Structure 1
Amino acid sequence: MTISLATEPTFSRVPDGDEATGREAVELARAYGVPLDDWQAAIVRGVLRESGGGWSAAQAGLVVGRQNGKGQILVALELAGLLLLRECVLHTAHAVKTSSDAFRRLVAVVDSHDDLTRLVRRRSHQVGMEYLEFASGARVSFTTRSASAGRGLSIDRLVVDEAEDLPAAEVGALAPTVFARPRAQSLYVGTAPGPTHDAEAFTTMRRAAHEGLNPRLAWWEWCAEWGADIDDRDLWVRVNPAVAAGRVPIQAVMDDRSILPTDQFRAERLSMFLPRGSGPVVFDAERWEALTDPDSTPARSIAIGVDAPPSRDAATVCIAGRRADDLLHIEWYETQDGLGWLPGWVAQRLTPHVRAVVMDARNPCAELDWTSAGVRPTLAGTREVVAAAGALFDAVADEKTRHRGQVELTRAVLGAAQRPMAGGQGFGWDRKAPGSSALLAVSLAVWGVDSGEVRKPRRKQPGEPRRVSAGRTGSVTTQWL
């Protein structure tokens, strides 16, 4: 069975294997009144793929917005654990309510069928310590997570619900529970994390899936790309498979859009991951969003920052300048393949409003023929590069800058990673972080706005008439650069 194009995940990676057990689990769930959409059934079959006498995937992850039916998938897997596989399953959640709701969902299925009820040997309804145990010894326990949850236990299947909120200490407590079992498996299920979630473990696992770092990791996600139009109803359908399948009305998404804060709607309904670096968070996402001003425009002291990665496969231009209210305006402006286009492109956009064109003296951009283009760049040394990174950091931290919410710049800022420079007395931006070229370019532009060390950028050629450009066609930035 295949799933329809409308409900295909936006990204998936599933190790090869035999799906016989998975198909049996899907049929078992349906026989006991747990209906599964095709996309849900595909996940159950994928999780339970087998190869080499064990599970094809030692770990599996699912990211999808709320109200799409994650719970039905877990019930199907837990029924299979009780009836087909005779497993010891530990189901954990961040919140007590989520854990208890999952227990009640499974109990409702068991108690509505006499043949299942007769198999129950023991049970507990004590909140936070619920469990079902069958006469076969199979058991499913439900608990909330903590730094000590699961310690001393040995289980066959670990279910981590609400995986978007999973601190490292809780991972350390839970991960060893599956080490001693020969056919153990861990399943991490959640939505995209919001700015306040402790999501390093979940985002690390997602990065491993996307980069193919773990051949025994299965992964499914329905995620909108950061910066996508959050009011695009076609997107709503695309990343909510239950809506695409017709089981949940789109009105449910419309209702959430009307009441949820923007960050929460992005995470919980669109599974839109914040751009983040692999290390500690440098810029606060909520503060960055609060600095958004779609109408922001610089009025004076405009500086252009340019950067290219060592691969020289593209170059990026960003600008900064002072607004009429004296706040700093920052903006991504252009990225194109290659480097040769850059000097002439910049030369065509120099006006009296531009006070500097800044680049790192060690960057490939500094090797270009700026003289022939009539451009006099300011080449920044290590001291200036460190000052530029600090200037951008301070401008954001002190809320003295505004930006237009561009995807390119937001990805760069929220994905920023620092690296020590100047003998540990300062920092620069790590090129391994996503969007680092834009981050470096905009930092140099910020430094160029107020620095007294910049050079006049226009190198007038003999007999050349004065040129004024309105900017690139279609740009949100026109008339002043």
Structure 2
Amino acid sequence: MTGSTRRLSEVARHLVIPAGIVTSQFPRVYRRLQEVGVAFDEWQQGFGRIALGCRESGKYAASIGGVVAAWPRQVGKTYTVGNLLIGMCLEFPGLRVIWTSHHGRTTTNTFRSMQGMVRSKDVFPHIAVNGIRTANGEQEIRFTNGSIIMFGAREQGFGRGMDAIDVEVFDEAQILGLKALEDMVPATNAAKHEHGGLVIFLGTPPRPTDDGEAFTMKRKKALDGKTLHQVYVEISAEPDTDPDDESKFHTFNPSYPHRTPLESMLRMRENIPDDDSWRREAMGIWPIVDPTETIEYVIKPDDWSKRADANPNLRNDSGIGMDVSPDGRTCTIAAATFREDGGAHLELIYHGSSSRVRQDDGTLRGPVDMAVAIWLKQKPRAVVIDRQSPAFMFVPDLEAAGVSVLVTNGPQLAQACSAIVNELPDGLISHTGDKIMLDAIESASTRTIGTGGAWAWDRRGEFVITPVMAITLARFGLWAEVEAPQPDSTYEETDFIML
């Protein structure tokens, strides 16, 4: 059967590609797929190239914001993304992948489709002995090289507590609540894949009853040009397309008619008679929104980026901030240092696992060890931790090591948050231009504290914002006066090594 020669740019209604892509891992992955008899149409190859596109660092350009595919039914979603994952598993030994849908039935259907793919005569020799597990709750495909794809339903709690995941696929992303993101996205923070962790979102426009805030926000940020690290590919019909105009089927289904015949399209239409459902599910048409509506940022990304300074004139006084994400997995350590003009310069020192990690020399080091090393080397005024943060668990060990710890309460945290926002426009805040920090600033939202209008950063939002919390607390620490406790002889001064 002859495939489509249309390029991705000709197929997609909206296509947003991160800047700075200089290479892609897709050619090597696609060679693997071709070796096992898998072929992609031109538009599918284009999707693979940008999804696995890398910047000069060698990391995926979409490693932070993810790959978002808003595709209608029957365009070949499972075939495209499923085979892309199989190719990655073949090319990158030990790759750990999870595929999660909202509903258990959808997950099972996807798993069955993927079983069919890997049972082909050319792929199956690469599957481990007894490598296909079909038990409910333990559905997985294991490869002989150690790679694995695991399947599960979010409604059944799948994915919580997992770590060191390299690729996450959120199928049915139109039913993806913020709580599920909080539970699962941190699993990629400790990804071992050399090109970084990757999160893929697949879905159709949400129904009015769906918990579609996360998926909708990702679309809006992409179309508004408010994201630097996200791939967005939308395949959809023009909003005014007649639902029954067969001459327009190709505009919202690139697999029609060469892979999805007219009979299949008509059968789907017969089973989705409601026009609104058909427009959403089959045509991919999103509700029309007010074009003047914009995302409300606490700190506008452009305003933040203007304050980047690679060579500030700094004094010796500094403060350290530590924060841990609500799920306890991700820790960020940041420093704030007085500038000669009295302003504060902010930088991230560590952003990664909150647990001890074995180093190349065999030793275990974690955030406490790092904070103590910074303390001994830089002699900051204090290490600041908020009482409501999971980082509060570090306080006893830090104090036992002789570190001066300042634990903020609600009013102090509100004061610290307001200071960052109020001082930025006056140029009293500068920073290193770190992309992790920018992404956190871009994603941060607020919550109200008490009844007097005070506010603080909302840790319970869609994204991990520990970098924002850490720099906020670090800046607060510049004015701290804390008496250092008596140190424990367990710790000694060492050179701090960035992880």
C-alpha offsets along residues 93-133 of structure 1, whole Å, 9 cap, x if unaligned? 12223212222222223333367435415441112320122
Checking the alignment, whether the CA contact within 8 Å between 2:168 and 2:199 is kept in structure 1 is yes
Deviation at 1:6, TM superposition (A): 9.2
Mark the structure with the bigger radius of gyration: 1
Aligned to 1:30, what secondary structure does the other structure show? helix
> Out of 219, 222, 225, which is 1:206 matched to?
219
Pairs within 5 Å for 1:393-472: none
> Out of 125, 129, 133, which is 1:124 matched to?
133
Taking a change above 3 Å as real, the CA distance of residues 24 and 228 of structure 1, as seen in their structure-2 partners, is same
Taking a change above 3 Å as real, the CA distance of residues 104 and 117 of structure 1, as seen in their structure-2 partners, is farther
Q: Who is 1:239 aligned against?
A: 252
Q: Who is 2:17 aligned against?
A: 14
> Out of 142, 151, 168, which is 1:158 matched to?
168
1:23 aligns with 2:27: yes
C-alpha offsets along residues 196-249 of structure 1, whole Å, 9 cap, x if unaligned? 3221111111111111211110011112344443233343221111116x2212
C-alpha offsets along residues 397-422 of structure 1, whole Å, 9 cap, x if unaligned? xxxxxxxxxxxxxxxxxxxxxxxxxx
* Equivalent pairs, count: 278
C-alpha offsets along residues 243-265 of structure 1, whole Å, 9 cap, x if unaligned? 16x22123432333333122221
How far apart, in 2, do the equivalents of 1:209 and 1:235 lie?
26
Checking the alignment, whether the CA contact within 8 Å between 1:44 and 1:76 is kept in structure 2 is no
Aligned to 1:242, what secondary structure does the other structure show? coil
Paired residue type of 1:206: R
Q: Who is 1:254 aligned against?
A: 266
1:139 aligns with 2:155: no
Deviation at 1:22, TM superposition (A): 0.4
1:48 aligns with 2:52: yes
How far apart, in 2, do the equivalents of 1:173 and 1:180 lie?
14
Q: Who is 1:107 aligned against?
A: 115
> Out of 101, 104, 107, which is 1:93 matched to?
101
C-alpha offsets along residues 64-84 of structure 1, whole Å, 9 cap, x if unaligned? 111110011122221123111
How far apart, in 2, do the equivalents of 1:198 and 1:103 lie?
24
Q: Who is 1:62 aligned against?
A: 69
Taking a change above 3 Å as real, the CA distance of residues 108 and 70 of structure 1, as seen in their structure-2 partners, is same
Checking the alignment, whether the CA contact within 8 Å between 1:161 and 1:189 is kept in structure 2 is yes
Pairs within 5 Å for 1:275-354: 275=288
C-alpha offsets along residues 141-189 of structure 1, whole Å, 9 cap, x if unaligned? 0001138432221200000111111122222212111122261010001
Taking a change above 3 Å as real, the CA distance of residues 90 and 233 of structure 1, as seen in their structure-2 partners, is same
Q: Who is 1:354 aligned against?
A: none
> Over the residues paired in the alignment, what is the CA RMSD in angstroms?
2.6
Checking the alignment, whether the CA contact within 8 Å between 2:171 and 2:201 is kept in structure 1 is yes
> Out of 264, 277, 282, which is 1:269 matched to?
282
Deviation at 1:91, TM superposition (A): 0.4
How far apart, in 2, do the equivalents of 1:276 and 1:108 lie?
40
C-alpha offsets along residues 290-316 of structure 1, whole Å, 9 cap, x if unaligned? xxxxxxxxxxxxxxxxxxxxxxxxxxx
How far apart, in 1, do the equivalents of 2:126 and 2:69 lie?
33
- Normalising by structure 1, we get a TM-score of 0.53
- Normalising by structure 2, we get a TM-score of 0.51
Quote the sequence identity (%). Answer: 26
How far apart, in 2, do the equivalents of 1:132 and 1:4 lie?
31
Paired residue type of 2:26: G
Deviation at 1:190, TM superposition (A): 1.5
